[in-house]
Amino acid sequence: MEPAYKDKPHCMNGYPLNVLKFSDDDKIIIQNEELKEMLQHPKVKFRKIVPFSIIGAYRKGKSFLLDYCLRYLYAHYPSINCPNLINPDNWMGAKDEPLRGFSWRSGATRDTTGIIVWSDVFLHNCEMTGEKIAIIVMDTQGLFDTLTTATGNSRIFALGTLISSIQVLNLSGVVQEDQLQYLQFATEFAKFAAADKNELNAKPFQNLMFLVRDWVNWKDHDYGLEGGSTYLNTFLEIKPHQKDELKSVRQFIKESFEELTCSLLPHPGDRVIGNKKNQQMYDGNWGEMDEEFVKELAILIDHLLKPERLVLKKVNQNKLQAAEYFGYLDEYFHLFQSEEIPEAKTIYEITVDKNMNTLIDSCYDQYVQNIFQNEELIETSDQIVIVHRMSKNDALLLYKTSKKMGNKNHDLKFKDILSLKIEEYYKSWLNTSETNLKEIEEQKEKTRKLFQEK
Ligand code: GDP
Ligand code: MG
């Protein structure tokens, strides 16, 4: 298939993959074959994943920002397509370098719908933990867009939250009350997780940044992260006169994400937004932006993507590997494809199922491996039973001591499934082993007789 972005820039060897889009009648179309290949690439699949995404209204500079993020990433991390770092000491590049990457534009037409993933994957080996990490970049579109209905909006936001570990909510001017409502899904989901009261009771999502563009109230709250932090505190504050639903959404936003931050960006300057006097096409270079904006942009991107800030995607505290992550992503995409918006409860149940199935698979694998290791040493039927019991106990112990998602009922249900799988394996193993033992015994008997006759 022809990539959507044919004019590949020399230093950014990738292109945008529109993995999920809306049809004219607002149905979700999934095209994730290339994404699957990307996440199952031999150099990627076993790495822990950091999905970085941005979401918000169209024509508010999301893709524009992401393209500068790509410059940062190509400068600091090797990627599958570009193993050499590009200009790490001067990652923003030349003043007049045209901006490339995700397509961004000044026209009024909507350019990006659904979820677009950059086709290249960035690799990082964490010095502190030794963890091998893969970073992917996603551009999402749909929120507050006149063309995308409310249903589309909430679907895309919910998906964005489910599949990211660093999510930027791109807002213009100020944070408005109705924009907080878009976080409703995340908060509903968090309620189920909290209700389960499992031993961990961890927050279900990782980092969320409210990014406010074109900030003008710098006298009240300064540009950047510090001003953002005081501003965030003011709008997340729960006040007595607020309606209950507003109080509750604030409460749960705090309980849903491991980290909430806010950054306030100045206006980028007339050249960036285009004006009547200056009709010549602007190519995205930073030389023509306001100086203050360039400074804040560089600080922001460094804060979002520097190695020590990379946050791994977790489901129930388990850090997902890239190939495993694709499994979740595919499941969620298909769930959201139905006419009805799936309820948070359904999504939560599916997440529990997926998480617990992965756990019982690894416990089962351990049982089978134990059997393999001891098989050679077995000489009697009694030993078969002993090896089975020992291995089963080990597998159940692993299950018992692992982090589990869901409530007591889920726990019992999946423990039973594991036991059943093990017993089934045992039955067939017992059959073959006993036959083998019999054959060995017969062989021994024959040899003995032969020896006696001689
Ligand atoms: P997207 O639809 O949100 O992805 O927006 P784009 O990245 O395609 O950018 C739309 C327009 O906004 C372009 O003309 C950009 O030059 C411009 N733009 C980029 N950053 C900013 C910003 O911080 N403020 C404003 N007002 N415009 C911006
Ligand atoms: Mg865009």
Question: Which of the residue ranges 47-56, 59-68, 345-354, 419-428 would you say has the lowest mean pLDDT?
Answer: 345-354
Q: Using the atom order of ligand 1, give the atom closest to the CA of residue 67.
A: 7
* Ion ligand 2 contact residues with beta carbon within 5 A: 62-63, 112
Q: Using the atom order of ligand 1, give the atom closest to the CA of residue 58.
A: 2
pLDDT per position as a tens digit, 226-245: 999 999 999 899 888 888 87
Q: Nearest 10 degrees: CA dihedral of 357, 360, 362, 368?
A: -130
Report the separation in Å between the CA atom of 15 and the middle of ligand 2, taken as the mean of its atom positions: 14
- Would you say the CB of residue 213 lies under 6 angstroms from ligand 1? yes
How sure is the predictor about 325, in pLDDT bands with cuts at 50, 70 and 90?
very high
More confident residue, 71 or 431: 71
pLDDT at residue 333 greater than cutoff 60: yes
Percent of the chain with pLDDT over 70: 88
pLDDT at residue 415 greater than cutoff 90: yes
Q: What is the largest CA-CA distance in the chain?
A: 113
pLDDT per position as a tens digit, 138-184: 998 764 555 455 556 677 778 888 899 999 999 988 887 777 776 77
**307: closest CA among 120, 89, 76?**
76
Say yes or no: ipTM exceeds 0.85.
yes
- Would you say the CB of residue 58 lies under 6 angstroms from ligand 1? yes
- Cα distances from 58 to residues 55, 86, 104, 313, 372, in angstroms, run 9, 30, 10, 26, 57
pLDDT at position 50 is 98
Work out the angle between the directed axes of helices 150-163 and 322-336 (0-180°, nearest 10).
Answer: 160
pLDDT at position 3 is 41
- Would you say the CB of residue 272 lies under 6 angstroms from ligand 1? yes
Q: Which of 118-127, 328-337, 339-348 has the highest mean pLDDT?
A: 118-127
Mean pLDDT for the chain? 85
pLDDT at position 142 is 61
pLDDT at position 347 is 81
How sure is the predictor about 2, in pLDDT bands with cuts at 50, 70 and 90?
very low
**102: closest CA among 18, 45, 35?**
18
Predicted model pTM: 0.82
pLDDT per position as a tens digit, 268-321: 998 888 766 665 688 889 999 999 999 999 999 999 999 999 999 998 778 999
pLDDT at position 155 is 75
